[in-house]
Amino acid sequence: MKKNKSSSLKNFLKKARKFSYENHKLVKLKLKEIVKSDSFNLGISKKERYKKITEKFNQFKNLKNTIKKGKKTKKSNSLILRKSNKDRYKKFIKWINQFNVLYIFNKKNEKLNHFITHTQLSNNLLNLFEKIKNFKLFKSEYKLITSKRNKKYDQKIGLAFYGDHNLIIASTIVDLDNNIKVISLNEMPIPGNVIGDSIVEDSNELANIILDSLTLLDLLNSPILCILSSSFFNIHTFNTSDLKQISPSDNHIQSKSPYLPANTLVDFLRMSDRKISNGLVRTIYSKRDFIKSWTDTLEIVNAPIIGLVPAAVHVFDSITSKIIEETTFLIDIEATQTTLLIGSNLAELHSQKLPFGYSLYITDNLKESSKNYFERALNSVKLIIQETNQKLPQNIFVMGQGLDKLLNTEFSLPEGFQRISDLNLSNYSYQPKTMQIHETVSKTIENNICALVSILSSCV
């Protein structure tokens, strides 16, 4: 009887060892499979992957010990630590602390160096990793904290904007993700003897003014993007089938120019995107002597130039890339003119000049001034779309330095209008109070800055 019991006990122990060994192999293979899966592929090398996982668990363990001691935890940028007070993270910490030792892979042969001592090792370990794999922390709705970007890849770029006899020079920093930070700024009035109604009358004097600002803002060796107000340009779109040739000498192209043929400069943008089934050509008209006066000035400045661009066109393209509408309306408000752009994404675009600006409506009662201006602007848009059988959109988008003149913090735009700043067309930072150099002649230029950084974002 004793022999039979002894034999039965030996057989039981033998089976138990075999089961433990097979269970150990199963856990090991499962662990390798999960760690190699996409759930843990966080964009790091295999060599560092297991180290990162171990560090994450240790962070939770250390966090629990700190809480037990009753000490105030140090603030961290970690998404886990910032949300540790929530129930799901407390539950997650409880899961992790069920185990005292983790499997640590040997770097050379990927064998386990330590074995977890727990009564239900296999089931608990597999359940733990299954919960980690399905946990919300690793889903796309959360952005994991990445290492700080190397600032040596940041690019300092100068912005120069002219409109309504005001010149703005801004120094910006653009990183690899196209995030823009305005770090300093200078706005100054330009007298009529330097720039007339449109043409630069004294290129040398304007060049000296620009050079003084570039020196002040430490931009002498930085590339410059020069932006000119929308009132200096006219825009039209043609079907290629309607043109004999894509050239300023084409009669059909000349017929749409508001300027004399000898003083017309046309820039073409062939809308050859694959998304467009029919051939379209966007034309931008400007006065030849106006553009020449600016290129002569920039030649004297002798700074690297990114481009000489109109303001509203790039903003319009940024809007239509985010907002899907049958027809998009954008108005650029200036002192004596309002430019209206009508079109759609990667399709036709036309501009209209409304013969009034904000200066006609400015009074001591700013709320009444704003109301009167936007009422006239809306009526003008309605008259234009009646002729073209178009529908009035839900919102007419608004930009320009005139927007800063017509609005303040006490009231917003009337119904039917929307500022482009509400669309987040670019990621930028503009904090005048923190800047060492921020000299302006206007009370506020925040709406204008929003448009300028949006243009910069689309050009770089």
- 120-136 pLDDT per residue, tens: 444 454 454 444 444 33
What's the pLDDT score for residue 67?
Answer: 45
Average pLDDT estimate for 388-402: 88
What's the pLDDT score for residue 243?
Answer: 85
Q: Which of 90-99, 126-135, 143-152, 410-419 has the lowest mean pLDDT?
A: 126-135
Rounded to 10 degrees, the C-alpha dihedral 426/213/184/154 comes to 60
What's the pLDDT score for residue 150?
Answer: 64
247 vs 423 pLDDT, higher one: 423
Percent of the chain at pLDDT > 70 equals 65
Rounded to 10 degrees, the C-alpha dihedral 431/434/436/437 comes to 20
Determine the Cα–Cα distance for residues 229 and 310; give it in Å rounded to an integer. 6
Q: How does DSSP assign 152-195, residue by residue?
A: GG-EEEEEEEEETTEEEEEEEEE-TT--EEEEEEEEEE--TTTB
User: Is pLDDT at 145 greater than 60 in this prediction?
Assistant: no
Contact 445, 168 (CB under 8 A): yes
State the pLDDT confidence band at 236, using cuts at 50, 70 and 90: very high
Mean of pLDDT over the chain: 76
Average pLDDT estimate for 115-119: 40
What is the separation of C-alpha 104 from the centre of its chain, rounded to a whole number of angstroms? 41
Q: How many CB atoms are closer than 10 A to CB 156?
A: 15
- 51-94 pLDDT per residue, tens: 555 555 455 545 545 544 444 444 433 343 344 444 544 554 45
What's the pLDDT score for residue 68?
Answer: 46
What's the pLDDT score for residue 412?
Answer: 82
State the pLDDT confidence band at 268, using cuts at 50, 70 and 90: confident
One-letter amino acid at 137 equals L
What's the pLDDT score for residue 181?
Answer: 96
Q: Domain residues of the chain, as ranges?
A: 2-138, 151-459
User: Is pLDDT at 153 greater than 90 in this prediction?
Assistant: no
SS3 (DSSP) at 120: coil
Q: How many CB atoms are closer than 10 A to CB 221?
A: 10
Q: How many CB atoms are closer than 10 A to CB 448?
A: 23
Q: Which of 129-133, 134-138, 148-152, 258-262 has the highest mean pLDDT?
A: 258-262
Q: How many CB atoms are closer than 10 A to CB 213?
A: 24
Percent of the chain at pLDDT > 90 equals 48
Q: Which of 33-37, 273-277, 378-382 has the lowest mean pLDDT?
A: 273-277
User: Is pLDDT at 339 greater than 70 in this prediction?
Assistant: yes
State the pLDDT confidence band at 147, using cuts at 50, 70 and 90: very low
Q: Which of 3-12, 365-374, 412-421, 433-442 has the lowest mean pLDDT?
A: 3-12
Determine the Cα–Cα distance for residues 378 and 108; give it in Å rounded to an integer. 73
Say whether domain 151-459 belongs to CATH 3.30.465.10.
no
Q: Which of 40-49, 377-386, 451-460 has the lowest mean pLDDT?
A: 40-49
Q: Which of 29-38, 115-124, 259-268 has the highest mean pLDDT?
A: 259-268
SS3 (DSSP) at 56: helix
> What is the Rg, in whole angstroms, of the alpha carbon atoms belonging to the chain?
33
Q: Is the pTM for the entire model greater than 0.75?
A: no
Q: Which of 30-34, 220-224, 264-268 has the lowest mean pLDDT?
A: 30-34
Determine the Cα–Cα distance for residues 179 and 37; give it in Å rounded to an integer. 33
Determine the Cα–Cα distance for residues 232 and 228; give it in Å rounded to an integer. 7
Average pLDDT estimate for 202-231: 96
326 vs 418 pLDDT, higher one: 418
What's the pLDDT score for residue 460?
Answer: 81
State the pLDDT confidence band at 152, using cuts at 50, 70 and 90: confident
State the pLDDT confidence band at 244, using cuts at 50, 70 and 90: confident
Average pLDDT estimate for 86-115: 45
CA distances to 71, 77, 153, 157, 286 from 175, rounded to whole Å, are 38, 21, 7, 11, 33
What's the pLDDT score for residue 301?
Answer: 95
Determine the Cα–Cα distance for residues 192 and 200; give it in Å rounded to an integer. 9
State the pLDDT confidence band at 41, using cuts at 50, 70 and 90: very low
